Structure 1
Amino acid sequence: MDGRLQERWDAIIFDFDGVLCDSNDLKGETFATLYAHEGPEVQDAIRAYHRDNGGMPRREKLARFERDILGRALDEDRLDRMVAGFAAAVEEAVIACAEIPGATDFLATHAGRPALFIISATPHEEMLRIAERRGMTDRFVSVHGSPPSKAETAAMLIARHGLRPGRVAFVGDAVQDYAAATALDLHFVGVRDADGRHPFPDGTLTVADLRDLPAALATL
């Protein structure tokens, strides 16, 4: 399998939360905690919005909570404080979070064969720290957070490294991951959540976790 993956693929791009690290629910609970004073109904709405809108930068997500769920005018100072509060609460927890099953084995087996990248909606400097603290940095050619968008970062990597889109796979768990792959004509493999759900169109190739990824990539 190792040789076949290397022959087939120039690169594999990974999202982080819910793909390499089992941190989606952790982040959802952290968002909900920021709104504890708003009551349980608002918190449930926050959790649902987070679950249905993975891959969105946290500042944009918090702004949408304020506008779409709470129906109030956006206060940039308040938004700044909430972004800072979220970051302070979540970074150490993500560093300590369990992996998605199969992540460590896949990275150990395939690092450099083909080239591996992370593109995450997590702020860039924070994503670099998390990857370093989790001992993952040396498995990847480079690690990227936001901004810019995932599609913009993927396009930059394709140009910088001379990658062929038909030989690049994007592995993600969110609509934004699928959209980035589709916009650039990359192959896509979705990762389902613990309940077997995913947000992708019918017929999208998905896996339960990264133990199934080599076999999935071999079918493309």
Structure 2
Amino acid sequence: MAMPRLCQILAVKPQSKRMEFNPEAYKLIFWDFDGVIKDSVPLKTEAFDQLFCEYGEDVRKYVREYHLLHGGVSRHIKIPHYFRKLFNQELSEEETLEYCQRYADSVIEGVIACPWIEGAREFLNSNPHDQQHIIVTGTPQDEIEHILEAIDLVSPFSKVFGAPHTKPEVLAQMLEETKMEPEECLMIGDSMTDHDAAVENQVPFLLRENEDNREHFAFFDGPKVLNFLHWIR
């Protein structure tokens, strides 16, 4: 009998690891939003790119890469950072708000309409393991509340935290409020911001892997998922 090729064996292993992950072990799950519940990261990357389209490809490349690496950081922090880093320019609060509004105007309806990460909505709505679910996102508070209302996904979450709340602070606060141990909780994210918030609070981290973050997470040997379809079967 012919032996299977090495490439065939290797191709199966990552999928089998993803399939083995069991969310039932956790009482509280922290969810990032963009790239975890909705497939909205490409849309937001394009929106940042367009804000800086007049500045040339080197600037736009830095903006795109920084955004992908720091997916959970508020635009109110990212935009001043870009001007400070790339142009040695400090934006006033008024200028920052103007750029943030231009960005918001270009993405909100797109986020509402964009595809779901497969299985996320069904898992959250059914809550098969009677868990507590909390949103922790870099999207502004009023904006994420509007988006959740528009996509009819308010009820699964006991709390929703958007900017200016930071992810490390939220995880620490909720561990204190719920009196849960870190190992009873799970952080699901797709960016280094999500990963670092989990590590800082000793909370297990589940990576929602995609083509854009795979290289950034080459070091990560923890659990990964492409979607949540196997959680609802």
TM over 0.5: yes
Query: Matched residue pairs, number?
Result: 210
Structure 2 equivalent of residue 48 of structure 1 = 65
Identity within the alignment, %: 29
Flag the 1:195–1:51 CA change in 2: closer, same or farther, 3 A: closer
**How far apart are residue 108 of structure 1 and its match?**
2.4
Structure 2 equivalent of residue 122 of structure 1 = 139
Verify the 8 A CA contact 1:169 1:188 in the aligned structure 2: yes
Flag the 1:207–1:36 CA change in 2: closer, same or farther, 3 A: same
SS of the residue corresponding to residue 131 of structure 1 reads helix
Structure 1 equivalent of residue 27 of structure 2 = 10
- The residue identity in structure 2 corresponding to 1:64 is H
Flag the 1:92–1:112 CA change in 2: closer, same or farther, 3 A: farther
TM-score, length-normalised on structure 1?
A: 0.87
- The residue identity in structure 2 corresponding to 1:161 is T
Q: Does 1:147 align with 2:170?
A: no
Q: Does 1:186 align with 2:210?
A: no
Structure 1 equivalent of residue 89 of structure 2 = 73
Distance 1:177 1:54 in 2: 8
Distance 2:114 2:91 in 1: 32
Distance 1:29 1:53 in 2: 15
Flag the 1:190–1:54 CA change in 2: closer, same or farther, 3 A: same
**Structure 2: tracts of 5 or more residues without a match:** 1-21
SS of the residue corresponding to residue 17 of structure 1 reads coil
**How far apart are residue 206 of structure 1 and its match?**
1.3
Deviating more after overlay: 41-50 vs 20-29: 41-50
- The residue identity in structure 2 corresponding to 1:110 is N
SS of the residue corresponding to residue 134 of structure 2 reads strand
Distance 1:5 1:71 in 2: 45
TM-score, length-normalised on structure 2?
A: 0.82
Instruction: Kindly report the root-mean-square deviation, in angstroms, between the aligned alpha carbons of the 2 structures.
Output: 2.1
Distance 1:66 1:133 in 2: 33
